[in-house]
Structure 1
């Protein structure tokens, strides 16, 4: 409660009190802290209980490989491939846990610059990047880059090595689209399901991570048809940074 002194009729002074009920806000803050703590605990379990045994297995495999005279043993190569697959799954599980934490302290992030940095970290083969966006958004920069990396990787994997990937502005967000075969309407919801993949070597977590990062920011992600008939991922509900924030 906050009190203020105001002038009343004549020379009298009056005290006016303003009462704000913050119970609901405090409850949301506690729920957010609990959610983030659970995600941190899950990430710790994944990192320790899954990563450590895998490291031990990889160490023993290297010893077996050395005793067999190096590379070339088909059985050893198959086990190594299985280890690589397990490592990729663990990495994606860790990413899913950590990126799912709600964003409570966003920065001003230049969308075009974030996508160009994401592009540099993904194997894009002969794909072409088209940037038609000028927005500066309020976001966690690291997680936004992860979201963009996953969308770029998905585009190149499904639209082909010579795909054209485009970033564009929306009224309340942005989109990333490709010129590949697109995604059928009946499959556009399930592509975000964890474990869903049409690629034999995919983990099925990529687009699920995109959705988790979007929701952690309070955004919405949906699939639509791109300009050239490919897949178009629209992220909406995005807050634009103020001029002061963008200038920092």
Structure 2
């Protein structure tokens, strides 16, 4: 009986914590949808006017960035409202996706070392979201000249950097919604990483990188070659 009571209490605590995190994510998603979509639409309108006056590859890059922002907002809203659901899984070439994600990371001095050639079964958009959040997190904490390595694991892949790393006593906290040690951080990047992983029934953990930084390992990933 005491074991049943203890289990029920732990279950209620876990449920309460999950509900709290979901409420935080829903609130953040609402802010994103209302406070970002309007200025984004203005920016897109100005971009079209600029294209009528100028022909530049830089404007094409701005358009691609706008498209990605639109997609991220949609995904964030879906993630907040649908929880652990993912769309249809498809074969995703990790090497190509990693390079594409790197193009959306705001750093000119950083270095990407991609050593992954496998194809995984995943929701492409959600996996892209996971990778970009890990890359942005590395730049945010490791600086603009950070080196990020994406490589293969047995049953998955890893993303590591040569930044300051994450102390042992903070490694459980970093995945909580709203937790951030950066002054301008939203605190939702790594929470989204965890939710995307769990939505695929993957496991994510953080450990030390080979160069002293942070290393995120995602396992339980189905490869098309398996």
| TM-score interval (norm. to shorter) | 0.5 to 0.7
TM-score relative to the length of structure 2 = 0.67
Residue 230 of structure 1 pairs with residue 220 of structure 2: no
Pick one of 143, 163, 171 that aligns with 1:188. Answer: 171
TM-score relative to the length of structure 1 = 0.61
Pick one of 77, 81, 91 that aligns with 1:108. Answer: 91
Provide closer, same or farther for how the CA distance between residues 224 and 95 of structure 1 changes in structure 2, counting only shifts above 3 A. Answer: farther
Where do residues 113-128 of structure 1 align in structure 2 (5 Å cutoff)?
Answer: 113-128=96-111
Unaligned ranges ≥5, structure 1: 1-38, 60-89, 244-248
Partner of 2:58: none
Larger Rg: 1
Where do residues 1-248 of structure 1 align in structure 2 (5 Å cutoff)?
Answer: 47=30, 51=34, 94=77, 96-97=79-80, 100-103=83-86, 105-242=88-225
| Alpha carbons 2:112, 2:148 under 8 Å: kept | yes
Query: Counterparts of 1:140 and 1:92 in 2: how far apart (Å)?
Result: 11
Unaligned ranges ≥5, structure 2: 1-21, 43-72
- Give the length in aligned residue pairs: 171
Provide closer, same or farther for how the CA distance between residues 95 and 105 of structure 1 changes in structure 2, counting only shifts above 3 A. Answer: closer
Query: Counterparts of 1:53 and 1:228 in 2: how far apart (Å)?
Result: 37
State the Cα RMSD in Å. Answer: 3.2
Provide closer, same or farther for how the CA distance between residues 238 and 46 of structure 1 changes in structure 2, counting only shifts above 3 A. Answer: closer
Instruction: State the Cα distance separating 1:52 from its structure 2 match.
Output: 7.3
